[in-house]
Amino acid sequence: MKFLDLAKVYIRSGGGGAGCVSFRREKFIEFGGPDGGDGGRGGSVWAEAVEGLNTLIDYRYQQHFFAKNGQHGMGSQKTGKSGDDIVLKVPLGTEILDEDEETVLADLTEPGQRVLLAQGGNGGWGNLRFKSSTNRAPGKANPGIPGVERTIWLRLKLIADAGLVGLPNAGKSTFLSAVSNARPKIADYPFTTLVPNLGVVGIDGREFVMADIPGLIEGASEGRGLGIQFLAHVERCKVLLHLVDGTSSTVTKDYRTIVQELEAYSDLLGDKPRILALNKTDAMDAKQISDRRRALEKASGGPVHVISGAAGKGIPEVLRALMVEIRGTGGEQEEGGPWQP
């Protein structure tokens, strides 16, 4: 299944049916009076968040969604049939944006959450509605209210507890495949990952969802590379795991590049909790590990985990640190011992 996180959709609600002008015509009843029915209501357009979807690919092949109009009213006080509603099924975490791509109309994050995108038009009144003591035979009826036509954007932000960030080839995909059942593409060249990948990670009897975001580069917040397309996905993460390639001779510069891009993209990302890890240490000697870890600690002002996604080194400790941030326990132990399921 192809990944698509942005789609333009054209919607139109149904117009209401016109009211009917009709009079009773029965044998031996000279003045039967009005009996025109109302028009039916037009169908509305809704969006609903559902489980089991993780892409908007369906909206690449169908962009137009038009609800049916209501039927006209009929004689004998018969109301026209209402038009059927249309429901757009979208993944959890989908934002509904106006045509300007900036105004957020709705943010669907809970299963079953619905939002009305275009209200169907009400049906017009038949002439029976206009009957009064002074107007015994009204000859008018209302037309139905037209439907609403608009253009909207669907933007998916994956819902994950933890997000993996780092420069291309920092080992993010290898790490995700080592800690979960996800199988992202892994190769020895940059930009291997072209779309976000999700995996369920388990540690000490608990689970959380981790997202592997395609590699960022300098200037990603301004549109360079692939990063800006997917930075929005980490906005929903509770914590970020920042992987730095330990085999690089410029680990400090690599670290600052990612931090600057996160802060430049939005204040929300800049303030999000981050855990820093020096990766690929299976390909380094002890002195390199010590020197580069110390350099990163000085640059970040915090602790640095020493890990290897390929060799499985230091992974449990990092996952426990992520779980602490996700659960917001601040490292406190619950009754019954640490990390009881």
Known binding residues for Mg(2+) are: 173, 193
Give the SS3 label for residue 148.
coil
In what order do the strands lie in the sheet containing 197-203? 197-203, 206-212, 162-165, 239-245, 274-279, 305-306
Looking at the DSSP bridge assignments, the partners of residue 152 are 9
- Which residues belong to the annotated binding site? 166-173, 191-195, 212-215, 279-282, 308-310
- How far is 182 from 70, CA to CA, in rounded Å? 48
Two structure tokens written together for 269:
């990302």
DSSP 129: G
- How far is 248 from 255, CA to CA, in rounded Å? 11
- Distances in whole angstroms, Cα of residue 98 to Cα of each of 22, 103, 150: 43, 5, 9
Candidates 260, 279, 289; CA nearest to 318 is: 279
For residue 52, count CB atoms less than 10 angstroms from its CB and return exposed for 0-12, middle for 13-18, buried for 19 or more.
exposed
For residue 174, report the phi and psi dihedrals to the nearest 5 degrees: -65, -40
Candidates 168, 166, 152, 162; CA nearest to 182 is: 162
Who contacts 110 (Cβ-Cβ below 8 Å, separation ≥6)?
49, 92
- How far is 304 from 252, CA to CA, in rounded Å? 12
For residue 134, count CB atoms less than 10 angstroms from its CB and return exposed for 0-12, middle for 13-18, buried for 19 or more.
exposed
Measured between its terminal Cα atoms, the distance across the chain in Å is 34
- Which residues belong to the annotated binding site for GTP? 166-173, 191-195, 212-215, 279-282, 308-310
For residue 133, count CB atoms less than 10 angstroms from its CB and return exposed for 0-12, middle for 13-18, buried for 19 or more.
exposed
* Other CB atoms within 10 A of residue 127 CB: 24
